[in-house]
Amino acid sequence: MNMKFKKLLLKILKIKSITGKPNGNERVLSISMEFLKGFHFRKFVNKETPSLLFYNNFPKSKKFKIILNAHLDVVPGNKNQFVPKVVGDRLYARGAYDMKSSAIVMMSVFKDIAKKVNYPLALQLVTDEEIGGFNGTKYQIDKGIGADFVISGESTNFQVNNEAKGIIWIKVSYEGKTAHGARPWEGDNAIQKINRFVDRMNKLFPVANKPVWRTTQNLAKIETANTTINKVPGDCSALFDIRYVSSDKNEVLNKIRKIMLPNMNLEVIMDEPSQFTSSNNYFINKLSKSIQKNLAKSVELVSYHGGSDVRHYDRVGISGVCFGPLGGGLHSESEWISVKSLQLYYNTLGDFLLSLNTLREE
């Protein structure tokens, strides 16, 4: 690992900056502030969740040309995963792939490039992406922070992720009528009504048995208060996890309401936006040229079934993508990152940022 950011990377990988654990997250942010000492920054805290925004110049509009977005929180892991281990080209550790390695590269690029560009550039370090990013990235956006384009360092194996599905969680409930199990005609079986609705959902959004780029649904849970066999259940509810493509974002709930039976109730538990940035986007084209130049490969745009913090920018009309180095084992005990790819990632990001110096401020 002949890289100037090796020491910082290994130090941060050892810290248990688990989502929702303030001490670990404060530690990684403190180390980041020390590494970027001399740069202006703002600290945000919402619901005990800290995040930072470093910048070269702070525009009056709070809108930067580019924001590099990275999260330093990780999902839980066993203690051995917080002892980084290098085997050949692979660095194994919790957060190596998702996404402390990318974050350290972004920090290094910002440190070396921020004073060489002629436009407002920011680096966003957050600590709650693994649980939705509502108190980090979204909170900063709610406070007015914006950009022309955002790159999240989520590892993508050097592909460019310009589209991701949105998320809708719903609870559909039905109140029937209880009766003795021997006299079902005197009751209104709520479970059977919910079963009819489930059948309609399966026809509306067929259950996927392979990767498909269309709106999908997963029946996650069916609940009833009934605990006895000799009773007609008077209540029942079903919970669904729906992942929708961007073209369906305004239609999903309307379609569901049309197939509901009389007296059914719909509760929206979560409604998170999809992510979509056109392949013709100016910044994607500039990033593509830097990828071709530094990685000697054609650019591959990919769509993801899961979301990232980029969706919070999409919510307010700001374009963005995920772009990160090579690795694997997401959230597993064998999570790893390619060491060689980190220098290539550094070179590509730096080249991209410098290539934008030709842009004139509005």
User: What would the DSSP string read from start to end of 319-343?
Assistant: EEEEE--SEE-TTSTT-EEEHHHHH
Residue 43 one-letter amino acid: K
- Give the homologous superfamily in CATH for domain 6-164+274-358: Zn peptidases (3.40.630.10)
Q: Which of 251, 248, 250 is nearest to 259 (CA)?
A: 251
Per-residue confidence (pLDDT) for residue 359, from 0 to 100: 55
Written as six digits, the tokens of 189 are 């079986």
Helix (H) or strand (E) holding 163: strand 160-164
- 166-272, which class in CATH? alpha beta
Q: Which of 300, 298, 242, 238 is nearest to 270 (CA)?
A: 242
The string of pLDDT tens digits covering residues 324-362 is 999 999 899 999 999 999 999 999 999 999 999 975 544
Per-residue confidence (pLDDT) for residue 361, from 0 to 100: 46
Q: Which of 106, 75, 105, 101 is nearest to 90 (CA)?
A: 101
Tell me the three state secondary structure of residue 78: coil
Contact 158, 225 (CB under 8 A): no
The pTM is what? 0.88
Tell how strand 235-244 and strand 216-223 pair up.
Answer: antiparallel
Q: Which of 138, 113, 101 is nearest to 39 (CA)?
A: 113
DSSP assignment of 22-48 equals: HHHHHHHHHHHHHHTTTSEEEEEEETT
Burial-class residue 181 by CB neighbours within 10 Å (0-12, 13-18, 19+).
middle
Per-residue confidence (pLDDT) for residue 250, from 0 to 100: 84
Per-domain residue ranges of the chain: 6-164+274-358, 166-272
Contact 82, 153 (CB under 8 A): no
Per-residue confidence (pLDDT) for residue 6, from 0 to 100: 81
212 CB-near residues (< 8 Å, 6+ apart)? none
Per-residue confidence (pLDDT) for residue 3, from 0 to 100: 62
Written as six digits, the tokens of 47 are 């619901």
User: Residues of the chain whose pLDDT is less than 50?
Assistant: 1, 361-362
Residue 36 one-letter amino acid: L
